[in-house]
Copies of this chain bind each other. A is one copy, B any other.
Amino acid sequence: MRSPTIRDVAKAAGVGVGTVSRVLNNSPQVSPETRERVLDAIRTLDYRPNLLARQLSRGRRVRSIGIISPFVNDYSFAARLTGVQTALAESAETYDLVFYHVSSLERFHQRLLTLAELNPVEGLLVMAIDLTPEQCALLWDAGLLFVGIGDHLTDDWPLVGGDNVAGGALATRYLLALGHRRIAYVGDTFAAPHGFSTSEARYRGFAQALREADVALPPEYVRLGTHGREPAYNMAAALFDLPQPPTAIFCMSDVQALGCLAAARDAGLRVPEDVSVLGFDDVELSRLVGLSTVRQHLELGGYLATRYLLSLLDADTPPLDDVPALPPFEVVERQTTRRL
């Protein structure tokens, strides 16, 4: 049941493999009738040349890295990818970038297994997903170099990204410093379909900062749901309906903050007079809307992670001795937060 090779075609057409090859690369020196016979055989066998073998034979030397990510339609993905491309473009050698899009955690693991087994790429950029120690070991044993880019929940594998727990705490302390004591959290469900835990990390920092400040966190102030503007809208609306609504909302992402903004407007609340809203990410849009948020350097993250991976791959490149660090998160104060 294996796919037909050039030899099968040759046999079927009653010619030698050389002739088949000539037909394939439409060399002029093959008689029309022979060519036709070969083409017939190709069609009936549904033959397709093996690109690997072809490249090998043609003496190609490829260098390639992969990028594995659970989403591609997010602004943050685009920003990071830009950084990746910049780093790749700067490299002396040309690298192919292979995309592995995974839609679930299982698929992610499967992909990892395949990658480890077949080694189609020299290195791997792991975006927005956490690797278990087992998965790290798997890649490591396969000689597949990898660098994470995005989160920072564990520090036992190379990862370029901010510390989201610290980021959550930073954001919260900022709101506390503004005098807020009733602060709500709007974020993604922790056990998200892909198992990304950014929301959880930021929440952890949030809760921790509140604890340290001896500020109560009523359970109804924590709203978790699907990522996106609409769900956030609903979560915020519910918050405003509370007998004692929060005076400030910390959203785990800018997109969700936008939903909160809309909910506030529809609830007749003024921002920031009646309620402060703080986002996270500082995507381009936030500047336009005047949203206060926490800045993280997305594009730079992609750039640094890629450079680091390349330095690992290539002994020639001056190897960065350690995993590069991103500038710390910083609060960007705009028009949606203010002193209570």
Smallest distance from the beta carbon of A161 to chain B beta carbons, Å? Answer: 19
From A118-126, A147-155, A214-222, give the one contacting chain B. A118-126
- Given the complex, which residues of B lie within 8 Å of A52, measured CB to CB? 52, 55-56, 60, 62
Given contacts A51-B119, A258-B288, A261-B288, contact A56 B56 (CB under 8 A): yes
Smallest distance from the beta carbon of A98 to chain B beta carbons, Å? Answer: 5
Contact of A56 among B49, B50, B101 (CB under 8 A): B50
Smallest distance from the beta carbon of A318 to chain B beta carbons, Å? Answer: 15
Interface centre among A52, A60, A81, A261 (most CB of B within 10 A): A52
Given contacts A98-B96, A99-B98, A118-B55, contact A81 B72 (CB under 8 A): yes
- Given the complex, which residues of B lie within 8 Å of A61, measured CB to CB? 3, 50
In the complex, whether A289 has a CB less than 8 A from a CB of chain B is: yes
Given contacts A72-B85, A97-B101, contact A56 B58 (CB under 8 A): no
In the complex, whether A40 has a CB less than 8 A from a CB of chain B is: no
Smallest distance from the beta carbon of A245 to chain B beta carbons, Å? Answer: 22
- Given the complex, which residues of B lie within 8 Å of A118, measured CB to CB? 54-55, 58, 60
In the complex, whether A6 has a CB less than 8 A from a CB of chain B is: no
In the complex, whether A178 has a CB less than 8 A from a CB of chain B is: no
Closest Cβ neighbor of A103 among chain B residues = B89
Closest Cβ neighbor of A141 among chain B residues = B26
CA A107 to CA B220, docked complex, whole Å: 54
Contact of A82 among B64, B72, B98, B255 (CB under 8 A): B72
Contact of A121 among B51, B53, B120, B289 (CB under 8 A): B51
Closest Cβ neighbor of A118 among chain B residues = B60
Contact of A288 among B82, B285, B315 (CB under 8 A): B285
B82 touches A73 (CB 8 A): yes
- What 5 A-B pairs have minimum CB-CB distances, sorted nearest first? A73-B82, A97-B99, A85-B101, A78-B78, A52-B56
A-B contact list, 18 entries, CB within 8 Å: A48-B122, A51-B64, A51-B119, A52-B60, A54-B118, A58-B117, A72-B85, A75-B78, A77-B78, A78-B78, A85-B101, A96-B99, A98-B98, A229-B284, A255-B288, A262-B288, A285-B285, A285-B288
